Structure 1
Amino acid sequence: MGKTRFLFPVLLLLLISPSTAEIKTLTITSDNRPMILLEKFGFTRTGHVSISVSAVSVVGGTSSQADPSRLGFFLLSEESLLQVLIEMQQNPSFCVLDSHYTTHLFNFRELSPPPSASFNRTFPLTLPNEYSLFFANCAPDTAVSMSLRTELYNLNPSDSSRDYLSAGQTHLPTLFSLFSLLYFLFLALWLRLCLLNRRSLHRIHLLMAALLLMKALNLLSAAEDNHFVKTTGTPHGWDVLFYIFQFLRVVLLFTVIVLVGTGWSFLKPFLQDREKKVLIIVIPLQVLANLASVVIGETGPFIKDWVTWNQVFLLVDIICCCAIIFPIVWSIRSLRETSKTDGKAARNLAKLTLFRQFYIVVIGYLYFTRIVVFALKTIAAYKYRWVSNLAEETANLAFYIIMFYMFRPVERNEYFALDDDEEEAAEIALRDEDFEL
């Protein structure tokens, strides 16, 4: 029954675990899980797996000494995952190390004798595919402790240098660098537009400039992070900068969407209490989400609560996405009510049209980046996993361009500069709209 209950977490781990790998140094202490997912990596024909274990100890067991051949490491492709799960369901006592669907690496019988109890070896892979590296414990009622170092990499055909990025993510440094450059250019154009239209400049435009800067720096740190992981196997501290800029960028993005969606700085210099509450809720939730992101990025899937952290991150992200929609809906409702009473039908109709369009854009953006991108990551072949990153960054850039264009600082904004004829036409349009509703 223990193995059967473990099937779903294993499947979930394989679906949501990242493919980016680097040199990992892990310490496993008194762990009795039957299977532990260590890494997931896309290999080419020149792929290699290097495993070094030391200070191995096994405690417990139904006999005086556990069979060392029942504990070991193996690789498993996604194509073979279902077959292995079927074998384990049909026979609860079945050991995954005996399955012919797995690529066996070594078991504890090959360890050096105590007290060192260590192993160090590199395994070449000639069959390209995306594999997950597992440790299996088929010895009943035993707990394993060990120090573990793993290196998963491909050799570059040109110079035989090591590439520690998965086959589907080896192009990420170039991709992130290109988009970082685009955002820096975007920022320069935005600042120039702000300087040329100082009379129409609002505080929100400066906040939007800060958002562009954080996005550009976030992509730059991501490019450097992936570059150093690709060439050396470690991020050299760029992962810390990535998490910092990622946090600032996400908080600024949600804040800008809420402020723009409520008309702050455009229509009114203040926020209502309920809009302030949205920001008070969203920002702490984003802090929690980014802490979960750090845990996920720095520890990897081998920790026991890794699935839980992923579920927390997903739940918090969904809550934040839903929360920022409400202020836009409140603004649309408020504009509909005031358009009937303040005698400025055309202006309010224009504002109403603007925020409706923005609402649709936000919904489309959130849907694409949260659902479509995730689907691409799931269904795309491992060699083309970078396509999901390209789609996500393209959607991000498109959303920023649309939002910044809609709320750009110009003297005669097409939504607010209206003449008397348009005023009369808008009054008729509002009456017709109320009649239809």
Structure 2
Amino acid sequence: MAAAAARLLLLLAVALPAAAEIKTESFREDPRPSILFEKFGFSKTGAVRIVISGAAVSSSFARADPKQLGFFILSDESMFQAVYESQARPPPEKRAEAAGGGPDEPDVSGCVLSSPYVKTLFTFHDMEGGHYNKSFPVTHPDEYSLYFANCAPEALVTMKVRTEMYNANPDGSKDYLSVGQAPVPAIYGFFAFFYAAFLAAWGYLTLTRDRVSAHQIHHLMSGLLVARLLYCLSAAEDQHYIRVTGTPHGWDVAFYLFQLVKGVVLFAVIVLVGTGWSFLKPVLQDREKKVLMVVIPLQVMANIAAAVIGETGPFMQGWVTWNQILLFVDVACCCAVLFPVVWSMRSLRETSKTDGKAAQTLSKLTLFRQFYIVVIGYLYFTRIVVYALKTIANYQFRWVSILAEEVATLAFYLFMFYTFRPAERNKYFSLDDDEEEAAEMVLREEEFEL
């Protein structure tokens, strides 16, 4: 039981709280001692429904004990207690010998299904002809994880499983969104409306008022707003249909598509803005092109990993590996996009010594320093702080992490779009003689400090 419980703890640690929908999955000769299906926040009217068909067990032993295979739910708090109990329990061989049996005899008492800290729903002993169909009420509100446990030695399990986890509404309808996900459709809908207004204002600047000052980068930034708007719309529809029907009705395809597009375009915009392309220089250097050639494929890989994780769930073999790939790729992208900004600041510092326009150079340098700091802050917040909110927040307030991420993203967009907006006389590039002299003194002081 110790190894199985430790595996449960690992799966619980990497499992992200997600909206539970109706899931159907087939397993063929699966040897895993434990399989995490879903995490879900229940109200006092929650329920779990499990439908099993074609269940069969093969084992090198004469016959696997059906009481050692079954489904159970477990809260996060009880998980740690179950793991502690498993570590304190002697190995199965010792328990069997102490009970007077042989070391090869199955030990039902050592299975996680017999732990007092889990709520066992049913075992294979309760099935008839390899089939099972039943709903189980969850009357104590909390966030639970649904697991399948296989404690039979060397047993291989074949079955088709359909799971439903939901809360019942007062009118008797089913709400397939976890308690902590309930406000999510409204959150995405609100930000979709805000991005539509943002896009209208930006379009007025780039296509009408300051059309002459607009550069190619500004039109690419318009594309970023369009991608973000479509992402929020598809996310809102995806979550709405999951809430009502348990399935996204195809909106998940749009969601992953626009998630890919907005991710690729965002990192491309950060790289291009960081290099000063289009509004400071017309072409990219080879090293800057290489950054784009690295970041864009990495973003495609990250979004493929996100789609696999979102559409399959933790019951898929290799799910933990996909999570690790997603984390690695995302960190690599975040590091790569910082290099162009650093290169721009270094180039501006070197230029300040020769071009005779110290004030303009200093202002540009200040601009890129601010952008560098804001990019780091945004990436840090959305990758670390938001993840921390997902893991430590009470299950009823998991929506707070999504709201925090969207607010941070909108604030970052507002800063970037306002700072690099098209303008005929930009304060960073049009300065008077007094500012020029003051800037020269500042640059001399910086060179002296270095």
TM-score, scaled to structure 1? 0.97
How does 1:10-409 map onto structure 2 within 5 Å?
A: 10-17=8-15, 18-62=17-61, 64-91=62-89, 92-93=91-92, 94-112=110-128, 114=129, 117-157=130-170, 159-194=171-206, 195-409=208-422
Question: For this pair of structures, how many residues does the alignment match?
Answer: 430
TM-fit CA distance, 1:170 = 1.2
Q: Find the counterpart in structure 1 of residue 101 from structure 2.
A: none
- Partner secondary structure for residue 165 of structure 1: coil
Equivalent residue letter for 1:34: P
- Please say if residues 154 and 163 of structure 1, whose CA atoms lie closer than 8 Å, have aligned partners that are also in contact: yes
Identify if the C-alpha distance between structure 1 residues 324 and 304 changes in structure 2 by more than 3 Å, giving closer, same or farther: same
CA contact (8 A) 1:48 1:123 kept: yes
**1:428 Cα deviation after fit:** 1.2
For 2:78, give the aligned amino acid.
Answer: S
- Matched AA of 1:301: P
Contact 1:9 1:307 in 2 (8 A): no
d(CA) in 2 for partners of 1:345, 1:388? 44
1:73, 1:106 within 8 Å by CA — same for their partners in 2? yes
Structure 1 runs not aligned, ≥5 long: none
Q: Is the 8 A contact 2:7 2:34 kept in 1?
A: no
SS for the counterpart of 1:37 is strand
Structure 1 residue matching 2:37: 3-state secondary structure: strand
For 2:107, the equivalent position in structure 1 comes to none
Q: What CA deviation, in whole Å up to 9, does each residue of 1:223-261 have, x standing for no partner?
A: 000000000000000000001100000000000000000
Structure 1 residue 90 displacement after superposition: 2.4
Query: CA–CA distance in 1 between the matches of 2:20 and 2:192?
Result: 23
Say if 2:46 and 2:167, in contact at 8 Å, map to a contact too: yes
Question: What amino acid is aligned across from residue 255 of structure 1 in structure 2?
Answer: A
Q: Secondary structure at the match of 1:199?
A: coil
CA contact (8 A) 2:22 2:162 kept: yes
Partner of 2:102: none
- Displacement of 1:434 in angstroms is 1.0
Q: Which moved more, 1:4-13 or 1:214-223?
A: 4-13
CA deviation digits over 1:196-217, x for unaligned, max 9?
A: 0012110000000000000010
Shift of 1:60: 1.0
1:383 Cα deviation (Å)? 0.3
Report the Cα distance in structure 2 between the residues aligned to 1:232 and 1:260, rounded to whole angstroms.
43
TM-score (norm 2): 0.94
| SS, match of residue 198 in structure 1 | coil
Residue 8 (structure 1) shift: 4.6
> Which amino acid is 1:156 matched to?
N
Structure 1 residue 317: deviation in Å? 0.1
CA contact 2:143–2:395 (8 Å) conserved in 1? yes
Amino acid in the other structure paired with 2:190? L
Q: Is the 8 A contact 2:5 2:112 kept in 1?
A: no
Are residue 431 (structure 1) and residue 444 (structure 2) matched? Answer: yes
The CA deviation at 1:9 is 4.1
Aligned counterparts of 2:311 and 2:219: Cα–Cα separation in 1? 34
Q: Decide whether the 8 Å contact of 2:113 with 2:120 is kept in 1.
A: yes
Kindly indicate whether the alpha-carbon contact (under 8 Å) linking 2:36 and 2:148 is maintained by their aligned counterparts in 1.
yes
**Contact 1:349-1:426 at 8 Å conserved across structures:** yes
Secondary structure in structure 1 of the residue aligned to 2:51: strand
How far apart are the structure 1 equivalents of 2:409 and 2:308? Answer: 25
Q: Given residue 187 of structure 2, which amino acid in structure 1 is its aligned partner?
A: L
Which segment is superposed worse, 381-390 or 10-19? 10-19
8 Å contact from structure 1 (residues 261, 355) kept in 2: yes
Structure 2 spans left out of the alignment, 5+ residues: 93-109
CA deviations over 1:275-302 (Å, ceiling 9, x no partner): 1000000111111111111110111100
1:339 and 1:182 map into 2 onto residues whose CA distance is 40
Displacement, 1:15? 2.5
Q: Does the 8 Å contact 1:61/1:139 carry over to 2?
A: no
Of all paired residues, the percent bearing the same amino acid is 62
Task: Report the AA paired with residue 309 of structure 1.
Answer: W
Kept in 1: contact 2:305–2:326 (CA 8 A): yes
Amino acid of the residue matched to residue 224 of structure 1?
A: E
The separation in 1 between residues aligned to 2:344 and 2:383, in whole angstroms, is 24
In the alignment, is the contact (CA less than 8 A) between 2:49 and 2:136 conserved in 1? yes
* Contact 2:6–2:83 under 8 Å retained in 1: no
**Alignment-mate amino acid for residue 360 of structure 1:** I
**Matches of 1:252 and 1:204 in 2, distance apart?**
11
CA distance in 2, matches of 1:229, 1:217: 18
